[in-house]
Chains A and B, each alone.
Chain A
Amino acid sequence: EVQLVDSGGGLVQPGGSLRLSCEASGFIFNRYAMTWVRQGPGRGLEWVSSISGSGGTIYSADSVKGRFTISRDNSKNTLYLAMSSLRAEDTAMYYCARERDIAVANNWFDSWGQGTLVTVSS
């Protein structure tokens, strides 16, 4: 059974940093691209960043480019999102999701984590 467990969220001050993790099990991790999606309070889904199975290809939303960095450790079956220069508008539930293929794009998200909440506030 595919399982994705999100962790690392919490309360952080504006300008601060945080690293989210997504621990995967039940499938061969390096054969799948992975993605982070967020959802602000009362808002819709917003794509954040995606990484190919090898880690060699990365795409990120303009709203987080230069501040957030997606990475993966295939030896630990874990996906990461390093967030810095956090702003109030980054407050959201962050979900990791598995893409259907090893390459990013033109496939779909077939499994999702339960989410981890990030709150940016002083």
Chain B
Amino acid sequence: SYVLTQPPSVSEAPGKTARISCGGNNIGSKSVHWYQQKPGQAPVLVMYSDSDRPSGITERFSGSKSGSMATLTISRVEAGDEAAYYCQVWDIYSDHWVFGGGTMLTVL
């Protein structure tokens, strides 16, 4: 089955740039989506199709993909960005949605 690998945690100071990676075999051929989940809340879509931002999501969030890695970048990190972030793809070989294990962003 297809696997997406994310680092369990990322820490960054306020005002700096945080980068959250998501690795997977042949991820370049898939559309990657990203969700933010704060404690006790439902997930929220923050990026779709690798690098498109939904309306209402701050432009500080951006997405990219290169080689076998997709990256969610959060510029000028704020305390309110502290949350778990999950990447997601559709695996056409298994007809399954796949989530990464999630990355907890801590704002120092």
Contact = CB atoms under 8 A, between A and B. Distances in A.
Contacts of B48: 100, 108, 110
B31 A45 contact: no
Contacts of B97: 35, 47, 50, 59, 105
Given A108-B33, A110-B54, A46 B99 contact: yes
A59 B95 contact: yes
B13 to A, nearest CB: 26
Contacts, number: 59
Interface string A41-65: 0001111001000000001011000
A109 interface: yes
B23 interface: no
Contact of B45 (A37, A106, A109): A109
A44 B99 contact: yes
A86 B48 CA distance: 33
A45 B96 contact: no
Contacts of B84: 44
Contact of A108 (B37, B49, B92, B101): B49
B79 interface: no
Q: Taking chain B's interface residues, is the majority helix, strand, or loop, or is none over half, making it mixed?
A: strand
A115 B41 CA distance: 9
A114 to B, nearest CB: 6
Interface in B1-54: 1, 31, 33, 35, 37, 42-45, 48-49, 54
Nearest to B98: A47
Contacts of A35: 97
B45 A108 contact: yes
Nearest to B86: A45
Nearest to A46: B99
Given A45-B37, A47-B98, A100-B48, 12 more contacts: A37-B43, A45-B99, A105-B92, A105-B95, A105-B97, A106-B31, A108-B33, A108-B48, A109-B88, A110-B54, A112-B42, A113-B42
Interface in B46-101: 48-49, 54, 84, 86, 88, 90, 92, 95-101
